Amino acid sequence: MKKYKFIVLLLGITALMASCGNQGDGKSSNGALSSSAAEKAYVAPGEHDEFYAFMSGGYSGNITVYGLPSGRMFKEIPVFSQFPTSGYGYSEETKPMLNTSFGFVPWDDSHHPDISQTKGELDGRWIFINGNNTPRIARIDLSTFETAEIIELPNSAGNHSSSFITENTEYVVAGTRFSVPVPQRDMPINEYKGNFKGALSFISVAPDDGRLNLEFQIMMPGFNYDLSHPSRGKSHGWFFFTT
């Protein structure tokens, strides 16, 4: 009887050892809760994440910054929407940035952040993002992680295919999603053909301080310009849009 108890106890210890061993060998199928998965994303106090992720906020109108691989949220950067926590959009310095030709618009649908580049490589000076409503383009200064300026684009509606940066940040390029009459005016829908155009806007970026200026627009057929990307290297100077 004593011998039987000893065998059971020995089997129990063996099972426990095997179980503990499986948790730390990296081959466990415990998913996201396994120790190996947590260790890969762990960033110790005082250490830095390898990357920043700048996430468009959609209807919040803002940009949210996360660390990778930790997944920690570092900051929400107010851009197109008022932000009571910091007073953005309420103070005398920031409220004018939300003024538009349609009046004071303290909200938007932010899409497609893109970072300034040098020779096709991200250089970390500024980040640009579009407002899909008004439409607007904003520049965020990455030395302060704050919105520095916002400009409004004419001849555009549903500013979706933007903001996209050329190889050396010569231009921020933005396309309208919905065609509009050029020049913009009210007109009956039966006059749509021939009067509605799609504008591709080329916004220059001052190399010293990043100031934005609408340099020119290319009038295109009234398609839904959805996404875009400039070419790099030998094909620099080409720009591609999906519709």
Specify the pLDDT at position 57: 93
Residues pairing with 63 in the sheet: 56, 77
Residue 201: name the closest of 166, 231, 174 by CA. Answer: 174
Give φ, ψ of 193 to 5 degrees: -60, 125
Contact 67, 49 (CB under 8 A): yes
Specify the pLDDT at position 185: 84
pLDDT in tens, the chain (243 residues): 544 443 333 333 333 334 444 444 545 555 555 567 788 888 988 899 999 999 999 999 999 999 999 999 999 999 999 999 999 999 999 999 999 998 999 999 999 999 999 999 999 999 999 999 889 999 999 999 999 999 999 999 988 888 999 999 999 999 999 888 888 888 888 887 778 899 999 999 999 999 999 999 999 998 889 988 888 888 888 999 999
